[in-house]
Amino acid sequence: MANKPILKEVLRDRGVSRRGFMRYCATLTSLMALPAAMAPKVAQALEGAPRPSVIWLSFQECTGCTESITRSSAPSLEDLIFNAISLDYHHTLQAASGHAAEAAREAAMKAQDGKYLLIVDGSIPLGNPGYSTIAGISNEDMLRDAAKGAAAIIAVGSCAAYGGLPMADPNPTGAVSVSQIITDKPVVNIPGCPPIAAVMTGVLAHFLTFQGLPDLDELGRPVVFYGDTIHDRCYRRPFYNQGLFAKGFDDEGARKGWCLYELGCKGPVTRNACATIKWNGGVSFPIQSGHGCIGCSQPDFWDAGSLYTAVASPTADITPVAGMAAAAGVGAGVAVAALNAQSKKKTASESTPVTVQELGDKQ
């Protein structure tokens, strides 16, 4: 494990020429929104870059984030990135299962201690450890354990980043986000339901190239991808500026491609790269397909009101409201968690799997 081949060797073994490598660096540089003149520096950094070990943990999630990242337009850039990292644990994608899989995860964590990249999708239930377990280990225990030796932690998807759908009112499982549990190291949030594949791989590429994390905003999001609102970069923005709005999904305005603001588009309060990077290999994005943005990458989007009601103020940020809701959500989660903190601690210290009996006791 210590002698993992460096990226340059991996690419050469795959028959990628120097030209192919330069092309790869040029597209990466553009993807990471770095100045184009940086491409040779990216190439230089990547030449000696070791393939980082990646451990991907899935908690209370729907596998949509994994679907998104695997459905990127392979075998392009994204495919290369996946061959350039060593994905040591991802229970949806790996062949091994059960104890063998957990043993592989533990071996990778030990061998790459302090160096591996931890990716998490899904929220973590604090209400009862039995709500979500992997090989009998509660999500919270697995996260805390894996976070200890991680060089960096990336929370992909709105559930891992902000609690997402599991945390939506009334938050039955006491779900919380990764950053509400891991507070002693930086957590990169890549929200979205799911996030854009190229955004996830772009952050991985940044880590691979610079052995560090990109600049983050106050919600832990990479500024290069979440710096603008959908509205800021929307091709329908000129209609908004002219006051031309579709009033229904089948009226004249809709047919003419006018602004969907009055139909509830959350573009003005949603920070994401959908309007520029787009989806399905750059084919389209929701607004281009005739439906307003639902704001899936913002905290508490599910509880933020009707998807079809116009946002009150086109320039206001949803964050303060969302932050308060999030705090309330955590409160509820922590309160429920306190009820069984005693037995949970015991579970953690003795590595005793959560039992069906235990789950029954808590209900």
Partner 1 sequence: MIGDYPGAWDGMGEPEQSVLIEIHRAVSALLEDDSESVIDVSTLPLGVADLARLEDALGQGEVEATIEAGGKSTVRETGVSGVWIVEHFSESGSVLAKTIEVCEAPTILRAHREDIEIGRDELGRRLA
Site for partner 1, rule CB under 8 A: 12, 16-24, 26-27, 29-31, 33, 35-37, 39-40, 73-77, 80, 276, 281-283
Shortest distance (Å) from residue 233 CB to partner 1: 10
Shortest distance (Å) from residue 287 CB to partner 1: 16
137 forms beta bridges with 134
**C-alpha to C-alpha distance for 23 and 40, rounded to whole angstroms:** 11
Shortest distance (Å) from residue 228 CB to partner 1: 11
CA–CA distances in Å: residue 298 to residues 168, 303, 319, 321: 13, 11, 8, 11
In the bound state with partner 1, the residue whose beta carbon lies nearer, of 57 and 197, is 197
Shortest distance (Å) from residue 29 CB to partner 1: 7
Shortest distance (Å) from residue 172 CB to partner 1: 41
Instruction: Calculate ∠ Cα 312-250-302, nearest 5°.
Output: 40
175 forms beta bridges with 125
In the bound state with partner 1, the residue whose beta carbon lies nearer, of 24 and 116, is 24
Phi-psi region of 244 (alpha: psi -120 to 50; beta: other; left: phi over 0): beta
Q: Report which of 230, 224, 221, 195 is spatially closest to residue 33, judged by C-alpha positions.
A: 224
Residue 42: both structure tokens together: 């990216």
Residue 130: both structure tokens together: 């039995």
Three-state SS for 39-53 is: HHHHHHHHHCCECCE
In the bound state with partner 1, the residue whose beta carbon lies nearer, of 42 and 120, is 42
**C-alpha to C-alpha distance for 151 and 115, rounded to whole angstroms:** 5
Residue 355: both structure tokens together: 């039992």
In the bound state with partner 1, the residue whose beta carbon lies nearer, of 225 and 302, is 225
Q: What is the DSSP code (8-state) at residue 202? A: H
Shortest distance (Å) from residue 21 CB to partner 1: 8
In the bound state with partner 1, the residue whose beta carbon lies nearer, of 78 and 141, is 78
Q: What is the DSSP code (8-state) at residue 261? A: G
In the bound state with partner 1, the residue whose beta carbon lies nearer, of 43 and 150, is 43
In the bound state with partner 1, the residue whose beta carbon lies nearer, of 155 and 197, is 197
Shortest distance (Å) from residue 183 CB to partner 1: 35
Residue 30: both structure tokens together: 């553009």
